Structure 1
Amino acid sequence: MATVYYPAIIERGPEGFGVFFPDLPGCVSAGATIQEAAVNAEEALSGHLAVGVDYGDAIPEPSDIDVIVVDSDVDVAARLLVRGERPGRSVRVQVSIDEGLLARIDKVAKNRSGFLADAARAALAARG
């Protein structure tokens, strides 16, 4: 996976703050405060990138935050860069695994490689 930073715009709304990503239509988030909106933006970005990859969508390169043009009717509270992980290309590897464990994986997984990659991501995230 490659770490990327997408520009996000935090805008004032009637009940808090909304976040949108100019490079990623449909990727939005919100929060009661600017800080909460910024924290929630990272979760929204991660989910958006993961779903896009699952559906085979092209993931655009992030724009330079300094050149983003925002409509004049948007009440901009902040501009920020939000960290996300963009999956890299798949690499074939050979691993050894207990045959009983492999059989159990195959019973529940639609895709063995994807299952193992998801398990590795979860284990790495748990370690911090």
Structure 2
Amino acid sequence: MRYSVVVHKDRESDYGVTVPDLPGCFSAGETLDEALHEVVEAIECHLEGLLLDSEPIPTPRPIEHHQNNPDYAGGVWAFITIDLAKLSGRTHRINVTLPERILTLMDRYAVEHGETRSGLIAEAALEYIASHQHPGAVRGDATT
């Protein structure tokens, strides 16, 4: 999943990073690179907590949705890609049959967006489920 983040820097402070789609998720760093690196861990920990608590995982919204919020005024926007396949520790190997053309498109998209095939499938499944349930959230307590 790609989450938009906003970075703020005051004269006498470190860089602060907020994740608008994940209330309460934020990070900081002495440099911009460090701040953006640290927010990846903050997002992963936040999502892990949601999954462990069987809470909904918010679907990322476009930056335009957040830009008029005065809390983010003057900030610099960036995107952070999170591989959902790496979350929650336990994974299960499955066998899926797909047409070669779709697999090629998936792999190309995953590479271009810094994702893995498994992460892309997990993200697509969560977004599909979210769009067919209630808007804005996906439950983390799916069973097989």
TM range (shorter): 0.5 to 0.7
Q: CA shift at 1:33, angstroms? A: 1.4
Indicate the residue corresponding to 1:62 in structure 2. Answer: 60
Is the Cα–Cα contact under 8 Å of residues 5 and 84 in structure 1 kept in the other structure? yes
Indicate the residue corresponding to 1:78 in structure 2. Answer: 76
In structure 2, how many angstroms separate the alpha carbons of the residues matched to 1:11 and 1:56?
31
Q: Does 1:9 pair with 2:3? A: no
In structure 2, how many angstroms separate the alpha carbons of the residues matched to 1:6 and 1:70?
17
User: Under a length normalisation based on structure 2, what TM-score does the superposition of the two structures give?
Assistant: 0.53
Identity of aligned pairs, percent?
A: 27
Any unmatched runs of 5+ in structure 1?
A: 88-113, 121-128
In structure 2, how many angstroms separate the alpha carbons of the residues matched to 1:37 and 1:11?
10
Indicate the residue corresponding to 1:40 in structure 2. Answer: 38
Between Structure 1 and Structure 2, whose CA radius of gyration is higher? Answer: 1
Distance 1:73 1:6, change over 3 A: closer
Aligned-pair RMSD on alpha carbons?
2.4
Distance 1:10 1:77, change over 3 A: same
In structure 1, how many angstroms separate the alpha carbons of the residues matched to 2:73 and 2:67?
13
User: Under a length normalisation based on structure 1, what TM-score does the superposition of the two structures give?
Assistant: 0.59
Q: Structure 1, residues 52-83: CA drift from partner, whole Å, max 9, x if none?
A: 10011101110112332254354634211111
Is the Cα–Cα contact under 8 Å of residues 6 and 72 in structure 2 kept in the other structure? no
In structure 2, how many angstroms separate the alpha carbons of the residues matched to 1:70 and 1:16?
24
Q: Which has the higher strand share?
A: 1
Distance 1:61 1:74, change over 3 A: closer
Any unmatched runs of 5+ in structure 2?
A: 94-144
Structure 1 consecutive aligned stretches of length 4 or more whose deviation exceeds 6 Å: none
Is the Cα–Cα contact under 8 Å of residues 29 and 44 in structure 1 kept in the other structure? yes
